[in-house]
Structure 1
Amino acid sequence: MLLPSNQILTAAQMRRAEEELMDAGTSVDALMQTAGRGAAEWVWRISGGRAVTVLCGPGNNGGDGYVIAQALLERGGAVRVIAASEPGTAVARTARGFYHGEVTGPDGGASGEVLVDCLFGTGLTRALSPEHTALLAQLAASHPYRVAVDLPSGVDSDTGQPLGPGLPAYDLTVALGAWKPAHFLMPACAQMGALRLVPIGIGPAANAAMLIERPRLHAPDADAHKYRRGLLAIIGGAMRGAALLAASAAQGAGAGYVKLLGDVPAPDDLVTDAQPLANALLDTRINAVLVGPGLGRDATARERLTLAVAENIPAVLDADALVLLAPRLLAERTAPLIATPHEGELAALERAFGCDAGGSKLDRARDLARASGMVIVAKGADTVIAAPDGRLALSPRASSWLSTAGTGDVLAGTIASRLANGADPFTAACQGVWLHGEAARRCPPAFTAGMLAAAIRSAYAASCD
């Protein structure tokens, strides 16, 4: 079951969720008090008695700002409100009426320690006016610590795209009611700092995307053996290092048996099978196949990919396999497939499967999953997972040190290991992405892909009950 704290809502879904609360008897004023006072808790902790400036816009996000300011005032905080314009909604006007502190206009000028941005929030679809842009920039420059309430002003909540230039960065973003896609999509998420969520009573929403959280993994059963834990076959290719990285990660991610198919040198703890690939793939004990890391793009690579997808075995396709993949190769398949494209490979797959490359990364991953029948892991600084049945998941921001060669091979091996271990494809993808991000968090700066692969083991341990 998708918990409310894990769900990610679009602007339209958020409006419907709030309407359901109001239909059930909660007033819009009560919702604003809950949201604003919840956000004020975080501002109070951060400010530590330092002067706070709250920038309020004309809409409901501005109303949240007045509630925050009043809550701080009641605690004895030093707070000042700057009204970019007069409240334009009834609920914002009510919140303004309950605030008993100082309010100045946009020309009043202010400096302080903490800026709370309540100018605009979820649902904004147009760029900030030049006046609002200049005011926000001036206040951001004069306050060393900046907090965005719900979303930074000027960000599209559904796509994570800035709606205009010159938007400031924040140290903390406090989401109200539910996470929004922009909290986890580039480029906006890189400017949001730490993320915190204030619940307001919203229940599970239909067709909501989910935030990937720590999976509940476990040690093998007492009577387990290597085949029961899953046999993963990794198909080698022209560049053996990539397949070895994937295999190392897979060994730490739960599969009981990892075998490299190909006549290549390998560590002593990795079994290799040098017989012809068509024969090796006839082993009925194989639970999953990984093809792509180090595969190459020549005729031999194309043949190996064709053989891999011809066998009706759950599979993960990565790297070169995604560039070589043609829809006709999947025509007879019924076993599940997971594809792990980066941006360039995503575009290649969209061309191959006739998808429109427009829209947000969420839209693109979902459309490709439906067109191809594969679970899509659109990886990168923001990672989106989409299933053919419409399920969506987003990953929290991971370490930027992942931007080094070979980390994609580690991710592919980790996901394939979870698939071989018995997880369904969407779950395997989510678990693999979490383990990959957690392993990166445990590595020192400037880590290598080999160090990341070795850290998958400790990430798995951290996920065990």
Structure 2
Amino acid sequence: MGPWAVAWSGGDTGGSTDPAPLVIDALFGTGLRCGLEASLLEQFSRLNRGAQTRIACDVPSGVDSDSGVMLSEIPDFDMTVTFGALKPAHRLMPAMQRCGRVVLADIGVAAGSDWSEIGRSALPQIDPEAHKYSRGLVHLLAGKMPGAIALSAKAAARSGAGYVRVSTSRSIEGLPYAIVQTDIGQINDERIGCLVVGPGMGDLPQVLSLALTSHAPKVIDADAIAQLGEPERLREQDAVLTPHEGEFVRLFGKLEGSKAERALAAARRSGAVVVYKGPDTLVASPDGRLGFAPPAPTWLASAGTGDVLSGMIGALRARGMAAFEAACAAVWLHGRAAEIAGSGMIADDLVEAIPSAFDHLND
């Protein structure tokens, strides 16, 4: 984009500098790396304050397109039209919330990258001769807070696992009868398709230590992340790690770079697929692939929704999907389930909406 802005009011402005009903921001392109000069920012802000509709080209001026960092304080836009490919800022906070609806315009440029937006996934088909073990056994390890592991277990069952089993020293009330509760670890059962550890674990590091002795693929969440100590403990594991911001910093420290760069650095260091959760969730693979989650409802920011995501990933791993693909598919389905459950949902409602989210894969 060239260095200009357009303010259109439906006719000749006659040189007027009054705010217009429609502002089209084409002031700077994607290479902006510093804030707007004070005089320019003042005029830009004045035009935008009076606009009924604001549309940005590529990214709103004042945004770093690579990191999503705000270089200047600017208003929210109603729409951003970008060309050729999405930019990281369209899916990274805080810029994501400034962009409004993002529209990708095809300009005939083939854009290939290991970084992509997460979309609908093709899930493994159920073999006509399948049985409960071939459809996928998810084994979960309970801890001090049974409600969290119950959410994970129910999410795994609703996400198509053929058999869901929970190791628990005390019976968990409210679990469907279809979910097996056992007081035996059974973590070396060769039929296990995925092991889930961390939700509701509490300060019981021995539960994590037990999980790490299993050769099964794993989802490591919540308290288990806090108990890992060193990310390198996962290098010999086939693991998906699901930290939110606080857990990420506790395990990996304050890494340099954008959230995308930090996610990839964490995946390389740990050897695990990292689901870096938040309003701008990312899925990073040690091989350099990076998935950006599409916008999800803000009401996902509530207790227990991460436990649900862990169970969903566990089920898709047990069904035979590779770690990165399973994590991406679960993140997409998680967001769609939240849309279906509605703004008043709690995590229990999110679980119940999972089957409908799966139906959306065929839309």
For normalisation by structure 2, the TM-score amounts to 0.94
Are the aligned partners of 1:216 and 1:464 in contact in 2 as well (CA < 8 Å)? no
Q: Name the residue aligned to 1:440.
A: 338
Q: Name the residue aligned to 1:388.
A: 286
**Secondary structure, in 3 states, of the residue corresponding to 1:147?**
strand
RMSD of aligned residue pairs (Cα, Å): 2.0
Are the aligned partners of 2:199 and 2:221 in contact in 1 as well (CA < 8 Å)? yes
1:242 aligned to which of 109, 126, 148: 148
What is the alpha-carbon distance in structure 1 between the residues aligned to residue 256 and residue 356 of structure 2? 39
Q: Name the residue aligned to 2:22.
A: 114
Equivalent runs, 1:257-336 vs 2, <5 Å: 257-263=163-169, 264-265=171-172, 266-275=175-184, 277=185, 280-297=186-203, 301-327=204-230, 330=233, 334-336=236-238
What is the alpha-carbon distance in structure 2 between the residues aligned to residue 441 and residue 79 of structure 1? 40
Deviation at 1:403, TM superposition (A): 1.1
1:130 aligned to which of 38, 50, 63: 38
- One-letter amino acid matched to 1:323: A
Deviation at 1:214, TM superposition (A): 1.2
1:192 aligned to which of 84, 90, 99: 99
Alignment identity in percent?
40
Q: Name the residue aligned to 1:216.
A: 122
Larger Rg: 1
For residues 172-205 of structure 1, the C-alpha deviation after alignment (integer angstroms, 9 at most, x for no partner) is 1111121000000001101111111001122243
2:263 aligned to which of 365, 374, 388: 365
Are the aligned partners of 2:230 and 2:251 in contact in 1 as well (CA < 8 Å)? no
Deviation at 1:103, TM superposition (A): 8.1
**Secondary structure, in 3 states, of the residue corresponding to 2:28?**
coil
Are the aligned partners of 1:312 and 1:334 in contact in 2 as well (CA < 8 Å)? no
For residues 283-327 of structure 1, the C-alpha deviation after alignment (integer angstroms, 9 at most, x for no partner) is 111011000000001xxx211101101111100000000000033
Q: Name the residue aligned to 1:232.
A: 138
Deviation at 1:253, TM superposition (A): 1.3
For residues 260-285 of structure 1, the C-alpha deviation after alignment (integer angstroms, 9 at most, x for no partner) is 1113223312111112x2xx112111
For residues 403-427 of structure 1, the C-alpha deviation after alignment (integer angstroms, 9 at most, x for no partner) is 1111111111111111111110000
Work out whether 1:423 is the aligned partner of 2:321. yes
Deviation at 1:446, TM superposition (A): 2.1
What is the alpha-carbon distance in structure 2 between the residues aligned to residue 396 and residue 407 of structure 1? 17
Are the aligned partners of 2:114 and 2:288 in contact in 1 as well (CA < 8 Å)? no
What is the alpha-carbon distance in structure 2 between the residues aligned to residue 135 and residue 328 of structure 1? 49
- One-letter amino acid matched to 1:215: S
Are the aligned partners of 2:237 and 2:272 in contact in 1 as well (CA < 8 Å)? no
Q: Name the residue aligned to 1:153.
A: 61
Equivalent runs, 1:374-385 vs 2, <5 Å: 374-385=272-283
- One-letter amino acid matched to 2:106: P
> Could you say if the C-alpha distance between residues 130 and 417 of structure 1 is closer, same or farther in structure 2, counting changes exceeding 3 Å?
same
> Could you say if the C-alpha distance between residues 272 and 113 of structure 1 is closer, same or farther in structure 2, counting changes exceeding 3 Å?
same
Work out whether 1:171 is the aligned partner of 2:69. no
Are the aligned partners of 2:188 and 2:215 in contact in 1 as well (CA < 8 Å)? no
For normalisation by structure 1, the TM-score amounts to 0.74
> Could you say if the C-alpha distance between residues 350 and 254 of structure 1 is closer, same or farther in structure 2, counting changes exceeding 3 Å?
same
> Could you say if the C-alpha distance between residues 242 and 135 of structure 1 is closer, same or farther in structure 2, counting changes exceeding 3 Å?
same
Deviation at 1:216, TM superposition (A): 2.3
What is the alpha-carbon distance in structure 1 between the residues aligned to residue 228 and residue 14 of structure 2? 61
**Secondary structure, in 3 states, of the residue corresponding to 1:339?**
strand
The count of corresponding residues between Structure 1 and Structure 2 is: 360
What is the alpha-carbon distance in structure 1 between the residues aligned to residue 89 and residue 262 of structure 2? 15
Are the aligned partners of 2:193 and 2:217 in contact in 1 as well (CA < 8 Å)? yes
Q: Which runs of 5+ in 2 are unaligned?
A: none
Are the aligned partners of 1:217 and 1:460 in contact in 2 as well (CA < 8 Å)? no
What is the alpha-carbon distance in structure 2 between the residues aligned to residue 386 and residue 79 of structure 1? 48
Please state which structure has a larger fraction of its residues in helix: 1
Q: Name the residue aligned to 2:110.
A: 203
> Could you say if the C-alpha distance between residues 137 and 310 of structure 1 is closer, same or farther in structure 2, counting changes exceeding 3 Å?
same
Work out whether 1:340 is the aligned partner of 2:238. no
What is the alpha-carbon distance in structure 2 between the residues aligned to residue 246 and residue 61 of structure 1? 51
What is the alpha-carbon distance in structure 2 between the residues aligned to residue 204 and residue 186 of structure 1? 23
Q: Which runs of 5+ in 1 are unaligned?
A: 1-59, 70-76, 81-101
What is the alpha-carbon distance in structure 1 between the residues aligned to residue 47 and residue 140 of structure 2? 55
Q: Name the residue aligned to 2:10.
A: 78
For residues 74-97 of structure 1, the C-alpha deviation after alignment (integer angstroms, 9 at most, x for no partner) is xxx9356xxxxxxxxxxxxxxxxx
**Secondary structure, in 3 states, of the residue corresponding to 1:416?**
helix
- One-letter amino acid matched to 1:159: S
What is the alpha-carbon distance in structure 2 between the residues aligned to residue 141 and residue 302 of structure 1? 54
**Secondary structure, in 3 states, of the residue corresponding to 1:249?**
helix
Are the aligned partners of 1:212 and 1:434 in contact in 2 as well (CA < 8 Å)? yes
Are the aligned partners of 2:291 and 2:328 in contact in 1 as well (CA < 8 Å)? yes
What is the alpha-carbon distance in structure 1 between the residues aligned to residue 85 and residue 149 of structure 2? 40
**Secondary structure, in 3 states, of the residue corresponding to 1:288?**
strand
Are the aligned partners of 2:85 and 2:111 in contact in 1 as well (CA < 8 Å)? no
